[in-house]
Amino acid sequence: MQARPLRNGKSWALLFAVISIFVVIDQWTKFWARGYLIGREEHFLGGFLQLHLAENSGAFLSLGSTWDPRMRFVVFSAAVSLFLASVLWQLRIRRKWMEEWGLVLLLSGGIGNLIDRVYKGSVTDFLFIDLGFVHTGIFNVADMVIVASVILLLMPQKKVEAVN
């Protein structure tokens, strides 16, 4: 990909505003879940959507939750921080909108979960979808934002031919 000019102040302000909005929504919903869902579960839409409070010291589906706490810190806090810094560094280059917003969403969700890890040592999860024959693990808003980012980043993008 050929690099385009660095961003101006207005485009950085928009990106940081979007990131901030997603992080605030994520943190607010986790704060709400930690207060409201202690010792209770909620079921909606005939059990399709369920709310269960869970603290996950691992990653996706609790992967790594049994690791030594120092190893979890290195992998889930330090390495993730470096990865998110590299994503931020990549945002200095203008990209096609799906790739650019995929990176913005990845950064937003990553920051939301990183805040939990740094301050609590685990990530607050509380959403669960049950289709009967298949269900999700327990997740949070940041996880949804990360999944949306992966979808945007993996979608094929049309190549634009240079006109001479």
The residues, any chain, with a CB within 8 Å of residue 106's CB and separated by 6 or more, are 87, 146, 149, 150, 153
- In the annotation, is 130 catalytic? no
Backbone torsion region of residue 47, taken as left when φ is above 0, otherwise alpha when ψ lies between -120 and 50, otherwise beta: left
Among the listed residues 26, 68, 116, 125, the single catalytic one is 125
Concatenated DSSP letters of 3-37: PPPBP-HHHHHHHHHHHHHHHHHHHHHHHHHHHH-
26 assigned to active site: no
Distance CA 146, CA 144 (A): 5
Question: What six digits make up the tokens of 121?
Answer: 């040592």
Residues with active-site annotation: 125, 143
